[in-house]
Amino acid sequence: MSWLAPVLIVLATALAMEAVAWSSHKYVMHGFGWGWHRDHHEPHDKLLEKNDLFGLVGAAVSIAFFAIGSPLVMGAGAWWPGTWIGLGVLFYGVIYTLVHDGLVHQRYFRWVPKRGYARRLVQAHKLHHATVSREGGVSFGFVFVRDPAALKADLKRQAATGQTRLRDSVPGAAELVPSGRNLGDRAG
């Protein structure tokens, strides 16, 4: 087998995981999984959040694909792409952890980007955390995000139509929020 097929499978899986993460975030985390996700939207000083359980779910998916692709586990019934799909899910999980937990929420390191793509990621996610409840909101993706100005306009429209309520005061990033309201930092 050529090295190209596994590389393409890993890359395609990692890209597809952004769509999986977006829909999981919007419909599971902000839906029936809100009980696990809620503390991620609330200020706290804890090292871990219930929301971190979703990372374990992602790890289980990755491990399951590794097992499906392993002749040691599945014998002759192993499905060779499974290993590479599992690696793509793992690769996305590492990117998510570094970008979302590390950069955006600064759980592992302290760096506030001043410009470029990294700043756009941080702004978009802070706009996501500008809402008080699980309903409404913007920017459910983690790696690919829309322009913060467009997200801000969507947030204003949602607040004006009653689809969501904006957070009154969470420190940091005040320049991003409509009506002079503030957005969250660590929990935001």
Across residues 20-37, what is the average pLDDT? 95
If you search the block for the tokens 């219930």, which residue do you land on? Answer: 50
Mean pLDDT, rounded, for 26-31: 95
pLDDT single digits (tens) 46-85: 889 999 999 999 999 999 999 999 999 999 999 999 999 9
At residue 133, the pLDDT reads 78
Report d(CA 127, CA 29) in Å as an integer.
17
Q: pTM for the complete prediction? A: 0.84
Residue 90 is predicted with a pLDDT of: 98
Determine phi and psi for 110, rounding to 5 degrees: -115, 110
Confidence at 183, pLDDT banded by 50, 70, 90: very low
